[in-house]
A = this chain, B = another copy of it.
């Protein structure tokens, strides 16, 4: 590909993914607002609903986020009554994150809300699934700072 072609916005996979990410989150935003959640708070809960009582580090590995992002986010969610942050007795360097009852309860409302949000997405389950698997394959191949 020549210079001008390679540098066209339209030919950039990275930009397409970047733009898609922001536009999809924009669509989710009003639905998540009904739950009182931001998008990042929502994905934190997705992890905890699957596996509760994990360390901040493990949470960050699932989400590809570091402590600089998670620490203030989790403090806000703790203040909102969604979860607890508790240092490990064995090794005080670890912080364990546990859902409150309220945090666990929210899963039901989230399920209803997310179904509505998905209906607003002009894409079939099959197409979504196909693109998702292709991107997951790419994501797992990418060199990571987390090894």
Contact = CB atoms under 8 A, between A and B. Distances in A.
Interface of A: 1, 3, 6-28, 39, 43, 46-47, 49-50, 62-64, 107-108, 110-111, 114-115, 120-123, 125, 127-132, 134-136, 138-139, 141-145
Contacts of A27: 142-143
Number of copies: 2
B131 A138 contact: yes
Among A20, A25, A128, A134, max chain B CB count under 10 A is at: A20
A130 B135 CA distance: 11
Contact of A128 (B13, B47, B107): B13
Contacts of A132: 11-13, 16
A66 to B, nearest CB: 11
B107 A7 contact: yes
A129 B13 CA distance: 7
A129 to B, nearest CB: 8
